[in-house]
Amino acid sequence: MKIEVELAKLVAQAISNLFNYPIEEGSVTFQKTRPEFEGDTTLVVFPFTKASKKSPEETAKEIGEFLLKNSTSVQKYNVVKGFLNLVYTDTVWIEFFTSHYTHHQFGITSIPTGKTIMLEYSSPNTNKPLHLGHIRNNLLGVSVSRLLEANGHKVVKANLINDRGIHICKSMLAWQQWGNGETPELSGMKGDKLVGKYYVEFDKKYKTEVAELMANGLTKEEAEKKSLLMQQAQEMLRKWEVGDKEVRKTWEIMNEWVYQGFNETYKLLGVSFDKIYYESNTYLLGKEVVEYGLQKGVLFKKQDGSVWCDLTADGLDQKLLLRSDGTSVYMTQDLGTAIKRFEEFPQLTQLIYTVGNEQDYHFRVLFLILQKLGYQWAKECYHLSYGMVELPEGKMKSREGTVVDADDLIREMIETAKQTSEELGKLDECTAEEKNKLYYTIGLGALKYFILKVDPKKKMLFNPKESIDFNGNTGPFIQYTYARICSILRRAGESASNHSLLNIANFTTEEKELIKCLSLFPEVVKKAAEEYNPGEVANYIYDLAKTYNHFYQTVPILRESDEMLKSIRVEISRFTASVIKNGTYLLGIEVPERM
């Protein structure tokens, strides 16, 4: 808020005048007052005790007295240890409200920063359909891209599709051996699910074969090497890499099935990309980088011809970049792809990878090798690491077919939204068409909110039934609050907007608390983008919805006899609806006007 900029100047002046110790205004920061204390903002005074040569409490009291005498915005203060809690005058909240309540894009900046950020997310394999883990990845990608744009950055949304490798060959081989020409059209299955079915089938047959070999006296390692199925899959990969026409044709057909399936799921989730990369086009890119690294002395060759980067001096290990047979590894590909991206987009100022935390070490190594190779932009590469999603019954396993399919989960969420809405009678007045649209909106809103409200760094447990609750910390609760406000605005009509609100004398406690909550939104959006954490916005919107519902239940709005008060409360409601809509947009969630 503007008031905090003014107060920062006064605090700097206070420290200079009181303690004869000049400081920069930028070193004065405020934080939200903890709920158990009275105050609208809090100044942490510990950093200033060096200047005052007094205790934190004495320092805080002297600064508080200075602000009372020199600021028309501070009504009173209290000191809790080294924290100075300030209470604003009503004028502050009146000026804030009258200055912002008509700003429909409040909290979202229109001033470009000049920064261009590439955000990679999704990055699926083409041997299986998208699952619950992919949902968290995609929802994070969409939301973080919107948060970055809301802070004035230009964003390039990228997807690197892993469309080659031994895992793809496993699905292809299983389909050739046991598919009997099955296609998505003949089976009635989505293409990605059909291919995933054969990936699971390969694993079942492979495990059976290994078990039989072990029963004949081989160790597990020996049995895996002797496996005819695995040898056939590896031979298929070799043929793919040398461009065998038949293998390539099968690969193209099956991948196309998968892409069609992915696109259907992406559409349901509201996911899109500006640039799509395919591993089949990028996996050789890093080989030239390896040669360059050898010439620079950053990399070294072992006696067997394999190429490595020694990172032991940096507290890491030696990293393989080229096998002895000349084939590349994932790290090689990622080095080449990163360089290609900065060549394609010379305006890039940052590259962000949205990938699960099991790859933390991989990205530490990737960024460090790029720095050693001399790429200055490597310092601007960032791994948006997120925790795994688990279910009440435990972890998911793709090979065993125990993953939660994304399409199945979306359907379950829509069905749960339908059942819950019908039980509560929430949509009784809607037409059948309106109901079906709302079931989708509520179900997807519940799914997105439940996942995004959790800090990405944390592992999360997903329970579909808990996510759809019209009274808890959920998407449907926020959606219902928005619809309630829209109902009030429809009933108020235009008459409530005809009054000038520039002569407001004061606010009730409930009005003030709601306006204080609204004022926090720009800082929340800023912090969420800086930390790549949509959970900041999600939990803020929940707090705002709770605060509005308390306001709604405590003070009359449309029943208010004083036309000026009625008009003020309608406009506070309108402002709240606008902020909820802006916040949910940043989460990729739709809010219906009727529920």
Cα 326 vs. chain centroid, distance in angstroms? 38
Q: What's the pLDDT score for residue 393? A: 64
Question: For residue 94, which of 385, 415, 512 has the smallest C-alpha distance?
Answer: 512
| 175-179: Cβ within 8 A, 24+ apart | 175/250, 175/254, 176/250, 178/205
Q: How far apart are CA 291 and CA 300, in angstroms?
A: 10
Structural domains in the chain, CATH included, are: 2-88 (3.30.1360.70), 165-280 (no CATH), 285-327 (no CATH), 410-586 (1.10.730.10)
Q: At residue 128, what is the residue type? A: K
Residue for token pair 């240890």: 81
Q: How far apart are CA 269 and CA 444, in angstroms?
A: 8
Q: What's the pLDDT score for residue 502? A: 60
Q: How far apart are CA 586 and CA 109, in angstroms?
A: 13
Question: For residue 197, which of 181, 209, 179 has the smallest C-alpha distance?
Answer: 179
Burial class (CB in 10 A: 0-12, 13-18, 19+), 435: middle
Residue 78 contacts residue 58 (beta carbons within 8 Å): no
**Tokens read off for 58:** 């004495």
Residue for token pair 């933390």: 360
**Tokens read off for 483:** 């619809």
Q: What digits encode the pLDDT tens for the residues 528-573?
A: 999 999 999 999 999 999 999 999 999 999 999 988 899 999 999 9
Residues 6+ apart with CB under 8 A from 229: 173, 202, 205, 206, 209
Q: How far apart are CA 277 and CA 164, in angstroms?
A: 12
Q: Helix 228-241 and helix 166-178: axis angle, to 10°?
A: 110
Q: What's the pLDDT score for residue 497? A: 54
Q: How far apart are CA 460 and CA 454, in angstroms?
A: 7
Edge-first strand listing for the sheet containing 154-161? 275-278, 154-161, 116-120, 348-356, 381-386
Q: What's the pLDDT score for residue 396? A: 43
The DSSP annotation for 502-547 comes to TT-----HHHHHHHHHHHTHHHHHHHHHHTT-THHHHHHHHHHHHH
DSSP-based three-state secondary structure for 295: helix
Residue 72 contacts residue 113 (beta carbons within 8 Å): no
Question: For residue 335, which of 375, 275, 295 has the smallest C-alpha distance?
Answer: 375
Beta-strand ranges (E) seen in 424-544 are: 460-461
**Tokens read off for 546:** 């709770």
Residues 6+ apart with CB under 8 A from 526: 151
**Tokens read off for 120:** 């990679």
Q: What's the pLDDT score for residue 402? A: 55
Q: How far apart are CA 231 and CA 93, in angstroms?
A: 72
Angle at alpha carbon of residue 558, lines to 553 and 560, rounded to 5°:
85
φ, ψ (nearest 5 deg) of residue 80: -125, 105
Q: How far apart are CA 232 and CA 334, in angstroms?
A: 27
Cα 243 vs. chain centroid, distance in angstroms? 39
Residues 6+ apart with CB under 8 A from 300: 294, 307, 308, 309, 310
**Tokens read off for 83:** 């924290």
Q: What's the pLDDT score for residue 401? A: 47
Residues 6+ apart with CB under 8 A from 176: 250
Question: For residue 208, which of 223, 198, 197, 194 has the smallest C-alpha distance?
Answer: 223
Q: Are strands 318-322 and 381-386 parallel, antiparallel or unpaired?
A: unpaired
Question: For residue 157, which of 5, 323, 357, 384 has the smallest C-alpha distance?
Answer: 384
Q: How far apart are CA 56 and CA 49, in angstroms?
A: 6
Q: Indicate the helix (H) or strand (E) that contains 49.
A: helix 49-52
DSSP-based three-state secondary structure for 537: helix
Q: Which residues of the chain have pLDDT under 50?
A: 395-401
Burial class (CB in 10 A: 0-12, 13-18, 19+), 34: exposed
Q: Indicate the helix (H) or strand (E) that contains 580.
A: helix 563-586
Angle at alpha carbon of residue 366, lines to 363 and 368, rounded to 5°:
105
Q: Indicate the helix (H) or strand (E) that contains 135.
A: helix 132-150
Length of the chain as a residue count = 595
Q: Indicate the helix (H) or strand (E) that contains 458.
A: none
**Tokens read off for 591:** 């809010």
